[in-house]
Amino acid sequence: MNNTFIHNYTTKFKQKALELGFLSVGISKADFLEDEAPHLENWLKNNYNGKMGYMENHFDKRLDPRLLVEGAKSVVSLLYNYSPKQEQPSNSKIKISRYAYGEDYHYVIKDKLFELLTWLNEEIGEVNGRAFTDSAPVLERAWAAKSGIGWVGKNANLLTKGKGSYHFISELIIDLEFEYDNAIATNHCGSCTACIDACPTDAILAPALIDGSRCISYLTIELKDEFPANTPEWGNWVFGCDVCQEVCPWNRFAIPTNEPRFNPTPEILTNELTDWIELTEETFKKVFKKSPIMRTKYNGLKRNINRIYNKIKTENE
């Protein structure tokens, strides 16, 4: 294929992605992530993954997408906005991360990715590829940064100038050559340390270095055991945490999503503390059946709610 042809279908492909609702799209050549290899190895050696044992699996695949898709030539990185139109009241006793307000992003974004892959096959011809969104051994932020759609901030989230960080990252790894993008030359965090200073559990050890075992998202979602006794107080979060994003100056540019499937579950906005405390397993399954909150299972969410209840009870005694 000549360069003009590649340029033309790359342009049309990106336009189609934007038409499907993606916020940004960038494309990298599928290759070994040489720079990330020692960082991943050291992160695992220091046990910053906590009890997320799955992070130790498929080390080579995390660094080389060609091991995930035979003949892979391109990694397409895409962002999808989830910034909610409505948020929980600022005085809410129970706090849930914004990304979990609506329908599970795995379903929403996978539908979009499959539609995009179908379009490619119809437009270009037979293309072999796989769609991913936080569901496989892919270093998503590294690929997104490599493709130029953002940079990895000090809180290790992918930040985008003028758009912030309230977005999901997803990928198409495919055996089609595209016109490739370049990484952003400048890290626009500058001297700002707002996220590092604000983290309640001091999980941000250094710029872009996170002790996952101390992160509130890990403690409230991934950790299935009782909370470590020496963990600092982390406020009213029961599913995930947005502190490092809330204080990030770039998120003043965040705009509400247009995705109706990410509209907040009403109970998340209106439930009082007593409603959460009295939550039954039957109601949990009914209300959150399509929500990311299902990941904690009922017992996990109740454990987190009980932590808040016991804290408030102690404070009032």
Catalytic residues: 134
Give residues with Cβ within 8 angstroms of 3, minimum separation 6: 179
* Rounded Cα distance, 162 and 252, in Å: 8
Alpha-helical regions (H) of 227-292: 243-246, 266-270, 273-277, 281-287
Residue 199 backbone phi and psi in degrees, to 5:
-60, 120
C-alpha atoms less than 13 angstroms from C-alpha of 282 in its C-beta half-sphere: 0
CA-based torsion, 85, 189, 221, 37: positive or negative: positive
**Closest to 189 measured CA to CA, from 141, 152, 145:** 152
- By three-state DSSP, how is residue 192 classified? coil
SS3 content of the chain, % helix, strand, coil (to 5): 45, 15, 45
Classify residue 215 as left (phi > 0), alpha (psi -120 to 50) or beta: beta
- By three-state DSSP, how is residue 239 classified? strand
- By three-state DSSP, how is residue 121 classified? helix
Q: How many residues does the chain have?
A: 317
* Rounded Cα distance, 192 and 57, in Å: 34
Alpha-helical regions (H) of 28-181: 36-45, 59-63, 105-123, 140-146
Could you tell me how many helices (H) and strands (E) the chain has, helices first? 12, 10
